[in-house]
Amino acid sequence: MADWGSHLSTMRSTAPLVLNITNFVAMNVMANVLLATGASPAMAHAEEEIAEITALSDALTINFGTADAGWMRGIFRAVETARGQGIPWVLDPVAVGVSTLRKQTAARLIEMGPAVIRGNASEILVLAGQGAGGKGVDATDGVTEAAAAARALASRTGAVVAVTGAVDYVTDGCRAFSVANGHPLMPRVTALGCSLTGVVGAFLVGQPTLEAATAALACYGVAGERAGKCASGPGSFAVDFLDALAALTPDELSQMARVTPA
């Protein structure tokens, strides 16, 4: 049995500062999720200060779900700083298929070397040039339909590609893992998907990228399973999920992670 919990232990011992340029919907949820998991969140996007804040951070995540022109300039400045400082960063291409601006922005960002690209199946298919996109922020394609595209995208970009859904698929283009943890209520709580991107960023710090990203997804899914046992609906699930993240131990993650080579 792989010791996936060791990655959670390492992350918590580091308590990394994760800078998240994310959408308005996700900011509060994402901050609480990162705190519960054991990381330290920061939320900023102003181009006038973003380089300074990025340089102080251990990881960076990018989500352009509600970005405007000013945010886009801040995003590119942050990524340039992260590259210069050797700071790992994660791209979450939210609803990339819905507009030309998003497609062009994602294409530019991919060329700037993200450590991880995390999206749903429809988003990954768009990035790989094999799909038109989902229904807004929601996927209309299954994870298995995007597996080959994810491998191709990983091979082309050098990034680890994580396709999230009922069963997640994570690949570096050569190796791959499936993560079968999770709960049906997770997609019914706003911003939980966006918040996962921050957790992936936290796990990357000082750890091998493919294994760290896989462990982050397993951690998230296990917490979802535990929360689902207590919750009576999406509202109570949101609260129970934070508690489950905070209570999850590395040993429990190793025991409960349903991760298999793919």
pLDDT tens digits, one per residue of 155-199: 999 999 999 999 999 999 999 999 999 999 999 999 999 999 999
* DSSP code per residue over 2-69: --THHHHHHHHHH--EEEEE--TTTHHHHHHHHHHHT-EEEE---TTTHHHHHHH-SEEEEE-TT--H
Q: Which residues are annotated as a binding site?
A: 43, 118, 164, 191
Which residue would you say has higher pLDDT here, 198 or 140? 198
Classify the C-alpha dihedral 246-251-252-253 as positive or negative. Answer: positive
pLDDT tens digits, one per residue of 60-96: 999 988 878 889 999 999 999 999 999 999 999 998 9
Tokens describing residue 248: 């999850």
User: Which CATH superfamily is 5-261 part of?
Assistant: Ribokinase (3.40.1190.20)
Q: With contact defined as beta carbons under 8 Å apart, do 25 and 189 qualify?
A: no
Q: With contact defined as beta carbons under 8 Å apart, do 168 and 221 qualify?
A: yes
- pTM value surpassing 0.75: yes
* Tokens 């995007």 sit on residue: 146
What residues does each domain of the chain span?
Answer: 5-261
Q: Tell me, what DSSP letter sits at residue 115?
A: S
pLDDT tens digits, one per residue of 152-164: 999 999 999 999 9
Q: With contact defined as beta carbons under 8 Å apart, do 51 and 8 qualify?
A: no
Other Cβ atoms less than 10 A from the Cβ of 218: the count is 28
Give the residue among 165, 169, 161, 214 at the shortest CA–CA distance from 187. 165
Q: Which residues are annotated as a binding site for ATP?
A: 118, 164
pLDDT tens digits, one per residue of 18-35: 999 999 999 999 999 999
**pLDDT tier, 2 (very low <50, low <70, confident <90, very high otherwise):** confident
Instruction: Determine the Cα–Cα distance for residues 262 and 260; give it in Å rounded to an integer.
Output: 6
Q: Which residues are annotated as a binding site for substrate?
A: 43, 191
